[in-house]
Amino acid sequence: MHYVLLAQLRIGAWMTLKISSKGWVVIPSDLRKKYHLEPGDEVDIVDHGGVLALVPRLEDPLRGSAGMLKGGKSLTKALLAERSKERSQER
């Protein structure tokens, strides 16, 4: 079985891409620029019932927000200190 991935460039225009023996597909540079795809970026491949779509992977919102509160007082340390103080007062 042989697959050819089609990319729609504009209404009515299609580009045919060949799949290498290793299963690689080269995304044309104009499309990489348009969608801000850089080497190492990840894309998802979605099967739409006979149509394969490459979708740029969105940044994980949790990873993207890591470090947002950096530099402030550690809330974890403050909570642990408060709990420790409460335990010592109970004794």
5-61: which CATH topology?
Answer: Pemi-like Protein 1; Chain: D (2.10.260)
In the chain, where the domains are located: 5-61
pLDDT digits (tens, 9 = 90+) for 52-80: 888 888 777 676 666 666 777 777 888 89
Is 6:16 a contact under the CB 8 Å cutoff? yes
- 32, 29, 23, 31: which is closest to 4 by C-alpha? 23
SS3 content of the chain, % helix, strand, coil (to 5): 30, 25, 45
Residue 85 predicted with pLDDT over 70: yes
* Per-residue model confidence (pLDDT) at position 10: 52
Confidence of residue 49 (pLDDT cuts 50, 70, 90): confident
